[in-house]
Amino acid sequence: MMMVFLLLPPACHRSPDNLPDPDATMIHSALEEVLASKKLKVLTNYSSVNYYIYRGEPMGYQYEMLKAFTDNLGVRLELRIERNLEKAKQLLQEGKTHMIAMDLTVTGQRQQRMDFTDPIIITRQVLVQRLPDNWRQLRTRDEIEKGLLRNSLEFAGKKIHVQAGSVYRKRLETLADEIGDSIIIIEDKRDVDELIAAVSNGDIDFTIADEHLASVINRNFPNIDIKTPVSFDQKIAWALRKESNNELLNELNKWLAQFMKTTEARLLYDKYFSSAVRNRLASDFHSFTGGKLSEYDKTIQKVATEIGWDWRLLASLIYQESEFKHEVSSWAGAFGIMQLMPPVMEQFGISITSPVEEHIKVGGQYIQYLDRLIPETITDSLERTKFILAAYNSGVGHVLDARRLAAKYGKNPDIWTGHVDFFLRNKSRPAFYNDPVVYYGYVRGEETFLFVEQIIDRFEHYSNLINE
């Protein structure tokens, strides 16, 4: 499973001889570990609300909430998908992640094993059931209601599927005890989105879901009913490993107390829980329902195969350059879906009137051309990719200048991250672009640094959520 890096630290303008050494830091708490490593490791789930790709852009309520927090803390977010709730809890206990952000309900039993933040959502559990097959032809609400379960006593003897490892089983067991009868509870490996779809298509009759999620998913399945509550109001929160003095928990709660009062928080909630969500869910370009990144996916896949790249990496580069739009020009004169400069188009025999597929093909050929100019001593495939991306953005000459600066100051010229990237992003400073080892002078290196980081970040989102 690939990791996702969402937020970039500010540019460093210290002497390269004084770069911090995270390994030298004594780690005493989760917060200290996060600050020392400059990354927050979080487990989340892939769903139509919390984390997905829409028209090439990573989205989701949990995703954007986490991004806002890491932005505030000044660290990166390392996001990993884990669908199995029990495995997620185990990874948390083993210290392999700092947090779980998976719509966890706060319960007394869970609080014995984990620390929880203040709630990010207040919701309740509801029964998900199917409307009558001919519900559109029925004239009155009473006719539609006929056969629907509205009283908990009617749950007796019913077979209800619930997501394995969730609190829904415990709630139904309590409900069975309260009504003095049996409920057949089936723990299902499918997630809530899939179980709701299974109710809609008639694969199963009932499932349980949190109301805030069900109300969104319901817009894509109009033949389901979610009006029967199963629980009272409950808190949804992020979970952390228990610590005697949980400084990370305190930091999260301090941020939540401020953030939840803001207009940004209200707009974010409306963005994912309002009626507009249905349009996204119905799109071919929603990773959860359609799975396409763009209308050019097949061409991108073909070209990526020809140049030996993962097609999702090439797609991330294209999104960075044009958001999959062809009729765009930059202030510098670059044109098209891959933002090719006029000399490059001339070199490879195309023009602005050439079909978009030709531009993607030439973009791939240009990537191969840059690859041949990058020294063979760079053997790590990911690091080499970063050098190629940097050259695609600012030109190979500036990348080679940064390698020479790295070698001069005792860094590894064959490693981009933490070595060459420092010198390229600071090559807008006279102390660097006037150095005798620099041949190509000034460049806005911070733009190139961000260009590389954002493409790799997005690629890893795509790797998490889009099939290879």
Residues 93 and 207 in one domain: no
| Model confidence pLDDT, tens digit, residues 445-464 | 999 999 999 999 999 889 98
Contact 210, 105 (CB under 8 A): yes
Residues contacting 7, CB < 8 A, separation 6+:
67, 70, 71, 74, 75, 76, 77
Residue 303 dihedral angles phi and psi, to the nearest 5°: -65, -40
How far apart, in Å, are the Cα atoms of 407 and each of 373, 396, 401, 413? 18, 17, 10, 6
Residue type, position 22, single letter: P
Q: Do residues 329 and 376 share a domain? A: yes
Q: Are residues 180 and 211 in the same domain?
A: yes
- What's the domain range around 104? 4-118+238-281
SS3 content of the chain, % helix, strand, coil (to 5): 45, 15, 40
Rounded-to-integer distance, Cα 217 and Cα 215, Å: 6
What pLDDT, on the 0 to 100 scale, is given for residue 7? 35
Output the domain CATH number for residue 83.
Answer: 3.40.190.10
- Structure-token match 């309900």, residue found: 105
Number of domains in the chain: 3
Instruction: Please indicate, yes or no, if residue 290 is contained in any of the structural domains.
Output: no
Flag whether pLDDT at 262 surpasses 70: yes
Helix and strand numbers, DSSP H then E, in the chain: 20, 14
pLDDT at 126: 97
At 57, which amino acid appears? E
Q: Are β-strands 52-54 and 57-59 bridged in parallel, bridged antiparallel, or unpaired? A: antiparallel
User: Is residue 202 located within the same domain as residue 60?
Assistant: no
pLDDT at 2: 37
pLDDT tens sequence across 405-435: 999 999 999 999 999 999 999 999 999 999 9
Residue 43 is classified by DSSP as E
Give the global pTM.
Answer: 0.76
Q: Same structural domain for residues 203 and 267?
A: no
Single-letter amino acid code for the residue at 311: W
